[in-house]
Amino acid sequence: MLGKLETVFSYTAHFILQSWPEKRPGILFLTDSGGRVINFLELMAGQSWHPQGLDLMLHSVPSGKVYEVITEATGGREIVVRAWEGDDCVYGAIPLRENDGRVRAVVGMIAPQSQIDFELFSYMRGLEPMIRMGYDAYIQHATSQIIMDLNFHDTARDLLGCLTTQISDIIQKGYCSAVKLSANRLCIPQESVTTQHTGGGPGDIARVVARIGQEPVEPSVLDGNRIVIVPVNCQSHPLYALILHLPPDEMDCTYDERDVAFLQEVGEKASSALWRAIRLDELRREASKKDLLYQLMSKIQASIDVNDVLHEIVTSIPSLYPHLSVELFLTVEPNATTPVKQLSFQEAEPSTSTRAYLEGRLIVETTGEGEHATTVIAAPLLGKQGIYGVLQVTSDERVSLSQHETDYIAILADTAGTAFENAQLYQQSRNLIRELRLINEMARQLNRSLDLKEILDFVTTMMGATFDAEFCAILSKAPGEDRFDVLSASIPEFNGMMVPTNEKPFQEILQNKQALLLAQPGAGPLPFSLLPCCSLMGVPLIVEGEISGVLLVADSRYHFFSFDDYKLLEIFGQHASLAMTNAVLHNEMERMVITDNLTGLYTRRHLNERVRASLEQDGYGSLILIDIDYFKTVNDTFGHQVGDEVLIQVSNLIRHSIRDSDIAARWGGEELAVYLPRVDKATAHSVAERIRNCVEQETSPQVTISCGLAKWSKESGADLSVESLFHQADIALYEAKNSGRNQVVLA
């Protein structure tokens, strides 16, 4: 039975009173299935007939003969009419049954036999159409009241909330839900309203929609009258499906034809109001989207930062379409923090985004079926110079997007493509200016110095500041060696360390003689023994076609270096290589100027400068003059080439017998000199004797030397000069030679 029993009874009673003979007393009553009186009324105006012993009290079960008639009517018979001997009253009852035969209510009647001139059974049989008329009147009234209430709502969701609530209140069984329909009459589950309080979960409506499947919705009654579906259309446009559904735990309840008729009546009458609310929603949504789109385009067009452009694209779509997720596929690698994906062209079957890129147009595609249906919208990011990627919008469920909505996405993608192109060009120009400034500064600084250590420190510092990397280093490789030595590193502890040339990064650099950019795609570091890293750049330093070293930049973060960084480091390598080569050549020229070509010892001029500096700075020192005995005889006997070899042997023995701070020089011809700064006479004598003994023991052909030793001290007070010191040593040498040679004589 539909609705509240007493409400339906009031409509039914109206028709019964019109058919009841005038001036005939009687009582009409209504009970529920348990026999409790819900309502009753007198059939004659101003009726004075009230049988004694009649027990009709609201919300209680009557006793006596009335109870017997009610019990008999609920027990299986259609219409019951009974009269008892000695009782002037006649009793009748009509059971009101559900579709499954269960009695939900009883309409009863009591009248005096002496005052009615017709058969009560036949009269009550004629009441059945009146009861149906009462139902129809109630449906019409309830529907009209609902439609009037709907007109107070101007949003579809509020209207549907009101509609489903009132339908549920009237039917009083299960729940009432409304699910949006697509243009081809398919359910859109994410746009639904239900009277069931789900606590944030999917609720029974999700089960019902899954039960309906992906077929176009038609008016239907399913699952043994436990689900009633009525689609609501207006002007041939599918709007929503009104659904009555019973929860699984209410197994003893079903919907009847009156529930279906009521839902159909409400759906038909509410269609105009629902259409109006939907159109208002669409107009508001269109205005809001246009406003958001305008604001978004203004932000995108005003931005000259690639990251800002990408961020606006990714965050704006959810504000326009909350049920959609956004992905960006790009063909270029942006220097941005917004996550993007690379377009793949290696798939056997091109994806939606790849096809949108290749075809240069927006593509809408639905894949899968049922709960696994997915809708994908891919729009190319178009610029004046080409296509930069694809904006892909995805829904995990089948959705229905209007032409306006797909147009919005296409416009957004076009605008984003142009803005992205402008931002890229601006960023490229800024990067180019920055690189030119860096290169100019680097060239200027490198040209200011010919000191190799200063150049190494400057290049290392500049690499760290430019690339913001955790580790920077300059490595050198000597010809023929199988290792790289760390000359300068941003972390001092790495200075002097060695790395084998057979490691992967260096193998590729040595093989190709080109810069290398490595990024670890997995979860672990790159195979590099110097330090753990996930991103690495290496640029070879090439001198005369051979690799003499490597500029190395590394970081523990994945994909940390861009292609622009890679190209900039190549330029750094070219300038660094040239500057280092110049410094090495300069150092070599300086060495050649102060070094004797034959012996490798310092020249006499350099020795004089160093002695003069020592006289000014130190407190004391010693000078040894050395002459190879009978050197002319060696030349005459063995030839000048052997003489040169002997001179080289003696020079090497001198070099190995003194400290690094001592200065050994070729004085002229076969004469050599050694200056010992801050060395006293006794120590200098020991050094001279050591040199003399080594020459006598280790030369071939064997030669001997004579040594003259002179010392100086500021404590002596003598005003010494370089010339006087050498003069003293020369006198001592002359004495040593005249005294038999192969000896050391002190001045």
Instruction: Name, in order, each residue with C-beta under 8 angstroms of 407's C-beta and a sequence gap of 6 or more.
Output: none
pLDDT surpassing 70 at residue 332: no
CATH topology of domain 595-746: Alpha-Beta Plaits (3.30.70)
- In whole angstroms, what separates CA 51 from the centre of its chain? 85
pLDDT surpassing 70 at residue 539: yes
Q: How far apart are CA 560 and CA 570, in angstroms?
A: 17
pLDDT band at residue 3, thresholds of 50, 70 and 90? very low
Structure tokens at 1: 């039975």
More confident residue, 607 or 5: 607
Q: Centre a 10 Å sphere on the Cβ of residue 670 and count the other Cβ atoms it contains.
A: 21
DSSP of 398-461: -----HHHHHHHHHHHHHHHHHHHHHHHHHHHHHHHHHHHHHHHHHHHHHH---HHHHHHHHHH
Domain spanning 449-586, CATH architecture: 2-Layer Sandwich (3.30)
Q: Centre a 10 Å sphere on the Cβ of residue 696 and count the other Cβ atoms it contains.
A: 15
pLDDT band at residue 303, thresholds of 50, 70 and 90? low
Task: State residue 120's pLDDT score.
Answer: 83
Instruction: Name, in order, each residue with C-beta under 8 angstroms of 179's C-beta and a sequence gap of 6 or more.
Output: 187, 188, 189, 191, 192, 205, 209, 240, 241, 243
pLDDT surpassing 90 at residue 351: no
The DSSP bridge partners found for residue 90 are 83, 111
Residue at 256: amino acid letter: D
Q: Centre a 10 Å sphere on the Cβ of residue 622 and count the other Cβ atoms it contains.
A: 28
Cis peptide before 701 (omega within 30 of 0): yes
Q: What is the mean pLDDT of the chain?
A: 81
More confident residue, 476 or 373: 476
Mean pLDDT over 708-718 rounds to: 83
Q: What is the pLDDT of residues 119-177, one digit of tens each?
A: 888 888 888 787 777 777 777 777 888 888 888 888 889 999 998 998 888 888 889 99
Q: What is the pLDDT of residues 227-254, one digit of tens each?
A: 999 999 988 889 999 999 988 887 778 8
3-state secondary structure of 569: helix
Q: How far apart are CA 507 and CA 65, in angstroms?
A: 110
Task: State residue 442's pLDDT score.
Answer: 66
Structure tokens at 76: 């299986």
pLDDT surpassing 50 at residue 716: yes
The number of residues in the chain equals 747
Name the most confidently modeled range: 162-166, 411-415, 445-449, 483-487: 162-166
Task: State residue 593's pLDDT score.
Answer: 66
Q: Does the domain formed by 151-282 have CATH 3.90.1150.10?
A: no
Closest CA to 109 of 216, 224, 16, 233: 16
Name the most confidently modeled range: 32-36, 168-172, 450-454, 643-647: 643-647
pLDDT band at residue 211, thresholds of 50, 70 and 90? confident
Mean pLDDT over 355-370 rounds to: 79
Task: State residue 1's pLDDT score.
Answer: 40
pLDDT band at residue 704, thresholds of 50, 70 and 90? very high
Instruction: Name, in order, each residue with C-beta under 8 angstroms of 580's C-beta and a sequence gap of 6 or more.
Output: 452, 455, 456, 541, 548, 549
| Domain 303-417 identical in fold to domain 449-586 | yes
Angle in degrees, CA 572, 577, 578, rounded to 5:
105
- For 86: left if phi > 0, alpha if psi spans -120 to 50, otherwise beta; the answer is left
Task: State residue 627's pLDDT score.
Answer: 92
More confident residue, 77 or 229: 229
What is the domain partition of the chain in residue ranges?
5-138, 151-282, 303-417, 449-586, 595-746
Q: How far apart are CA 645 and CA 628, in angstroms?
A: 13
Q: Are 312 and 415 in contact (CB under 8 A)?
A: no
Instruction: Name, in order, each residue with C-beta under 8 angstroms of 568's C-beta and a sequence gap of 6 or more.
Output: 435, 438, 466
Task: State residue 338's pLDDT score.
Answer: 62
Mean pLDDT over 534-546 rounds to: 80
Lowest mean pLDDT among 175-184, 291-300, 619-628: 291-300
Structure tokens at 415: 């605008």
Structure tokens at 655: 């070099």
Task: State residue 233's pLDDT score.
Answer: 92
Task: State residue 559's pLDDT score.
Answer: 76
Name the most confidently modeled range: 13-22, 346-355, 494-503, 672-681: 672-681
Angle in degrees, CA 716, 718, 720, rounded to 5:
120
Q: Evaluate the CA torsion angle 564, 570, 571, 576 in order and state its sign.
A: positive
Mean pLDDT over 381-388 rounds to: 80
- For 241: left if phi > 0, alpha if psi spans -120 to 50, otherwise beta; the answer is beta
Structure tokens at 65: 């003969």
Q: What is the pLDDT of residues 189-209, one digit of tens each?
A: 878 888 887 665 567 788 888
Closest CA to 553 of 519, 513, 503: 519
Task: State residue 369's pLDDT score.
Answer: 63
Strands (E), 480-534: 483-489, 498-500, 516-519
Q: Are 89 and 65 in contact (CB under 8 A)?
A: yes
Torsion angle (degrees, nearest 10) of CA 353, 354, 355, 361: 60
Instruction: Name, in order, each residue with C-beta under 8 angstroms of 398's C-beta and a sequence gap of 6 or more.
Output: 182, 186, 188, 214, 366, 373, 374, 375
Q: Centre a 10 Å sphere on the Cβ of residue 579 and count the other Cβ atoms it contains.
A: 23
Task: State residue 438's pLDDT score.
Answer: 67
Burial of 410 (0-12, 13-18, 19+ CB in 10 A): middle
Angle in degrees, CA 208, 211, 216, rounded to 5:
100
pLDDT band at residue 624, thresholds of 50, 70 and 90? very high
Q: How far apart are CA 140 and CA 160, in angstroms?
A: 19
Q: Does the domain formed by 303-417 have CATH 1.10.460.10?
A: no
Residue at 549: amino acid letter: G
3-state secondary structure of 477: coil
The CATH classification of domain 5-138, taken from the options 3.30.70.20, 3.30.450.40, 3.30.390.10, 3.40.50.150: 3.30.450.40
pLDDT surpassing 90 at residue 445: no
Structure tokens at 144: 């009209």
What are residue 239's phi and psi, to 5 degrees? -110, -75
Mean pLDDT over 638-663 rounds to: 91
pLDDT surpassing 70 at residue 435: no
pLDDT surpassing 90 at residue 622: yes
Mean pLDDT over 635-644 rounds to: 90
Mean pLDDT over 44-64 rounds to: 84
Structure tokens at 705: 């030397």
Q: How far apart are CA 223 and CA 250, in angstroms?
A: 13
What are residue 542's phi and psi, to 5 degrees? -105, 125
